[in-house]
């Protein structure tokens, strides 16, 4: 929950690099409950690190989310984004860096376009900007930047779109048949409890940016539907009130979306892309603190919601917190159409304790394409990476893990995997402080996944992998 550049035709600073990968050997701990030493890598026998790249060049700030296309991976960073050549997954290379500062810098890609979401007030909308604290509200900027990546090694900045409260996350939504546009569902929120420049309360909405694919310079905010006309969850001790959404995942083929909206979980009908409608909402006032992200299973009849307990800045994977708080929650979608409801089935949390100095939180993950099974890989900050099976919604279980030990045993320290996604046979982890880790999963239960290939992958834009 790390809270929160665009004159048309301007060119971002691009640095082309070729960096040799490094890797570390992993070993399985004798006792899975034993906390590894500082920077020590441990794993289950079936999940191994095959490559690592340190941060480099100008992008030494916080690493964030991923998007993939062809042989390139695009990695967000608070200073801009990386372009990685992953044509040889065991030998990844930094192909280019784009310097464009702004918090989050959440990424989506489609065709020749890359979208970068900024969730911090900046002095202007170019990539030559600074954090803004003194400018009058109307002169401050945050929102979406659009780049042309026809040549992935020289991304060109095309256009900016300012959005209320900026863009903490943004979700690419393909247009329906005959629609020549793509849409961005922009999630943002206000935790201050009072009006802020660029972010007035009540902020119970999302912003929808409409992007004509053939003329992206004409992109604009098409609508800003109010998701919570009643104000949403009002909050409670240790529970965040709803003032917007943190993340939305769409399953366009099925015309549905799942929203993780601070104090509420939401199921949307997106048959009209510009006018999503709430089908049903759900709350967990016992264990959930902050609804953070959502993942459908491939059949589209389950949703995994994550809880960002501690806001991504606390040690929440220890005995004091326990197995149900700061966990994933698995819901079955019961019923169809407007009568659909979300039925809670179980919690899942990594079955290992972390040190009290490790920031650990349920974070971003994706499905692993295994027909007939519901298996996903997920990042847990310094809790590492977990591969787990939720085919039986009531009995989820871990089948593989990999983690790097604490960064410090003396003081609470943030770091670890922000996003861990499966892409074309490998798991790619964007480590907040360390760089990039590439992992290989060798398990008979997931072996078939190696045969599935996607041309483009945005984790929050789910496709039916049986059609890849």
pLDDT in tens, 105-117: 999 999 999 999 9
Return the pLDDT at 9.
Answer: 35
pLDDT band at 31 (very low <50, low <70, confident <90, very high): low
26, pLDDT greater than 50: yes
Average pLDDT, whole number, for the chain?
93
Which 3 state secondary structure label does DSSP give 450? helix
Out of 4-13, 189-198, 211-220, the most confident range is 211-220
Q: Out of 8-12, 169-173, 248-252, 356-360, which region has the weakest mean confidence (pLDDT)?
A: 8-12
The string of pLDDT tens digits covering residues 411-420 is: 999 999 999 9
Max CA pair span of the chain: 59
Q: What is the pLDDT of residue 135?
A: 75
pLDDT tens for 92-142 read 999 999 999 999 999 999 999 999 999 999 999 999 999 987 777 778 999
442: pLDDT confidence band, cut at 50, 70 and 90? very high
- At 41-93, the pLDDT tens digits run 999 999 999 999 999 999 999 999 999 999 999 999 999 999 999 999 999 99
3-state secondary structure 53-113: EECCCCCCCCEEEEEEECCEEEEEECCEEEEEECCCCCCCEEEEEEECCCCEEEEEEECCE
pLDDT mean over 9-13: 40
Q: Which is more confidently placed, 314 or 1?
A: 314
pLDDT given at position 133: 76
pLDDT at 12 over 70: no
Give pLDDT, residue 27.
53
Span 291-299, average pLDDT:
98
pLDDT digits (tens, 9 = 90+) for 153-186: 999 999 999 999 999 999 999 999 999 999 999 9
21 closest CA partner among 85, 107, 96: 85
Asked if 416 contacts 341 with a C-beta cutoff of 8 angstroms, the reply is no
| 8-state DSSP, 311 | G
pLDDT, residue 294, reads: 98
Q: How many CB atoms lie within 10 A of CB 246?
A: 23
């Amino acid at each position: 929950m790390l809270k929160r550049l665009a004159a048309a035709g301007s060119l971002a600073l691009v640095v082309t690099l070729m960096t040799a990968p490094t890797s570390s050997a992993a070993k399985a701990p004798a006792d899975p409950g034993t906390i590894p030493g500082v920077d020590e890598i441990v794993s289950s026998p079936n999940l191994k690190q095959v490559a690592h790249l340190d941060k480099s060049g100008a992008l030494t700030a916080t690493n964030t989310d991923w998007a993939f296309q062809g042989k390139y991976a695009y990695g967000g960073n608070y200073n801009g984004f990386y372009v990685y050549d992953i044509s040889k997954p065991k030998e990844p290379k930094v192909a280019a860096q784009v310097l464009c500062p702004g918090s989050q810098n959440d990424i989506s890609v489609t065709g020749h376009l890359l979208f970068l979401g900024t969730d911090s007030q900046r002095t202007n909308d170019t990539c030559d900007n600074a954090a803004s604290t003194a400018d009058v509200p109307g002169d401050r900027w945050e929102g979406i930047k659009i780049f042309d990546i026809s040549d992935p090694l020289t991304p060109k900045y095309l256009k900016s779109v300012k959005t209320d409260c900026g863009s903490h996350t943004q979700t690419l939504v393909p247009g329906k048949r005959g629609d020549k546009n793509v849409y961005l569902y922009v999630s943002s929120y206000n935790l201050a409890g009072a009006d802020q420049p660029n972010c007035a309360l009540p902020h119970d909405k999302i912003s929808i940016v409409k992007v004509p694919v053939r003329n992206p310079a004409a992109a604009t905010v098409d609508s800003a539907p109010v998701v919570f006309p009643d104000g949403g969850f009002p909050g409670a001790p240790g529970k965040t009130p709803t003032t917007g959404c943190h993340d939305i995942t769409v399953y366009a083929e099925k015309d549905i979306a799942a929203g993780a909206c601070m104090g509420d979980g939401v199921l949307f009908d997106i048959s009209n892309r510009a006018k999503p409608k709430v089908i049903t909402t759900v709350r967990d006032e016992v264990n959930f603190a902050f609804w953070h992200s959502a993942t459908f299973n491939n059949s589209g009849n389950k949703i995994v919601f994550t809880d960002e307990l501690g806001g991504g800045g606390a040690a929440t994977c220890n005995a004091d917190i326990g197995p149900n708080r700061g966990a994933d929650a698995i819901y079955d979608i019961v019923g169809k159409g407007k009568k659909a409801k979300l039925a809670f089935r179980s919690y899942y949390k990594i079955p290992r304790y972390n040190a009290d100095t490790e920031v650990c939180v349920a974070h971003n993950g994706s499905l692993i394409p295994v027909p007939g099974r519901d298996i996903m890989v997920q990042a847990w900050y310094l809790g590492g990476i977990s591969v787990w099976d939720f085919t039986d919604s009531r009995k989820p279980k871990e089948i593989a893990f990999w983690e790097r030990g604490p960064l410090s045993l003396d003081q609470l320290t943030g770091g670890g995997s922000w996003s861990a996604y499966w892409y074309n046979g490998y798991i790619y982890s964007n480590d907040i402080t360390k760089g990039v880790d590439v992992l290989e999963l060798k398990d008979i239960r997931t072996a078939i996944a190696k045969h599935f290939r996607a041309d483009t992958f945005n984790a929050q834009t789910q496709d039916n992998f049986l059609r890849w």
